Structure 1
């Protein structure tokens, strides 16, 4: 089974500036394809997601990843880039420039640290709609406390762009350490009613107790996402190297494969790679990029 990881990051603080890494010394160093290739159970290919470098360096980040891709032992199949969606329709030239760059398949302007007002901001919504109409996959990174606002946002988006391809990062970042199951389950089930929305099975170890989580604690959360979205709309993501804060890539991957072991071989292949290929890479593989 070929693994296409739908969500990992690469960075080098000596090349680009990542202010958020200053508070995480364990991650405040280069994480490059060479290190990724050396970890246990490393993927065959990956979608590289922007890592919130300084906004003015976001295009450099794309160019840097494309340079790394030329020599990477692991195929860097696609890039989810940052874009200033809050600038409204003024973001169009930026988006069209991204279209000219190799491997760019999606856009992520993370909302997890933003006030709820941004979900309802007219300029932000116009920018999100512009990205959808330009054909980019939209990665939505939000916290569980923001899922209701995300539902409102996607209700609006799908009214204006019914075919928009949207992916929820990290299962909506449930508060596993606080065991806030019910509100998350209700919100996730409501989101799953959007047929064009997919869900990344990723990022859970760092939402649990970093040092003490056990795989059996995460299984119900993973299985709830699979139940809500179905195997054809769930994508495995390793969230490397962030996952290293709370264990290892191999431990998380094993946790996911154990959680979906009851599925058919076709469904397991879908979660572990084929869904990511279909959602992110169809245009690239079809020669439309």
Structure 2
């Protein structure tokens, strides 16, 4: 069983999706389940988790509709206003959707202290009542803040997206390593091995570029708290699906079959409580 714990769908909108710049021409178009399904099949992937790419209630509804119509979409990580005064009622409504597993806010690039704002933390804390998880999307300079955030919410199950986006293209690793070691001390935090190719040189990366970063996440989180994610279709600016998957499976060749199965599927299935 192999699960892609992190991918996206969208109907491209130039205004809403302004983060997709002209230099990212490969992904300035629609990406829907019919585009991904044959790719997953070709790569031996049994199912996926669709993660929000826009910040609106309609985004969550869009992903839930796709999941309802496509069995291979095993889970959805949606968006909800975690600071809304009626958040509990919204979460109660969302709890009726079996494939909705958690939520994410695009915290990367937010002002310092955003994760620690009382209203935001209160909202994230309410996820526990409905067994929802939270995906942490941040840049390296926010890892210490994420530690302070997660340590104060010990009952929330967190997963760090894209290994916190280290500056792989520049080879920067020392401070990221120290901060990742701190974050990994928290038992309620897991980590997605995803999003690496877009942090490397899009046109000229090699698998060896990622090995130092993989060494770190496998050392500090271990194979019990790591999960594969393709970040498709965002990854297409730098690599095809099989290239992204190959970086990790090549690295995992030195591990046991049991560890490989955990990272490539079992951990994601357990974390998101996927119905397989």
> TM-score, normalising length from structure 2?
0.92
2:152 aligns to what? Answer: 156
Report if the CA contact (8 A) 1:36-1:42 is conserved: no
**RMSD after superposition:** 2.1
Report if the CA contact (8 A) 1:168-1:200 is conserved: yes
2:162 aligns to what? Answer: 170
Are 1:86 and 2:78 counterparts? no
1:195 aligns to what? Answer: 187
Q: Whole-Å Cα distance in 1 between the matches of residues 60 and 146 of structure 2?
A: 27
- Among 109, 124, 139, the alignment partner of 1:143 is 139
Q: Whole-Å Cα distance in 2 between the matches of residues 83 and 215 of structure 1?
A: 36
Q: Whole-Å Cα distance in 1 between the matches of residues 25 and 83 of structure 2?
A: 30
Are 1:64 and 2:59 counterparts? no
Report if the CA contact (8 A) 1:3-1:43 is conserved: yes
> TM-score, normalising length from structure 1?
0.88
Deviation at 1:27, TM superposition (A): 1.7
Q: Whole-Å Cα distance in 2 between the matches of residues 116 and 20 of structure 1?
A: 20
1:6 aligns to what? Answer: 5
1:263 aligned counterpart, secondary structure: coil
Alignment of 1:1-289 (within 5 A): 2-13=1-12, 17-21=16-20, 23=22, 24-39=24-39, 40-41=42-43, 43-52=45-54, 55=55, 58-72=56-70, 75-87=72-84, 90-158=86-154, 161=155, 164-281=156-273
Q: 1:214 to 1:71 in 2, by over 3 A?
A: same
2:210 aligned counterpart, secondary structure: helix
Deviation at 1:212, TM superposition (A): 1.0
Q: Whole-Å Cα distance in 1 between the matches of residues 92 and 21 of structure 2?
A: 32
Report if the CA contact (8 A) 2:137-2:164 is conserved: yes
Q: Whole-Å Cα distance in 1 between the matches of residues 20 and 112 of structure 2?
A: 24
Deviation at 1:63, TM superposition (A): 2.9
Report if the CA contact (8 A) 2:67-2:76 is conserved: no
Segments of 5+ residues of structure 1 without an aligned counterpart are none
Deviation at 1:100, TM superposition (A): 1.9
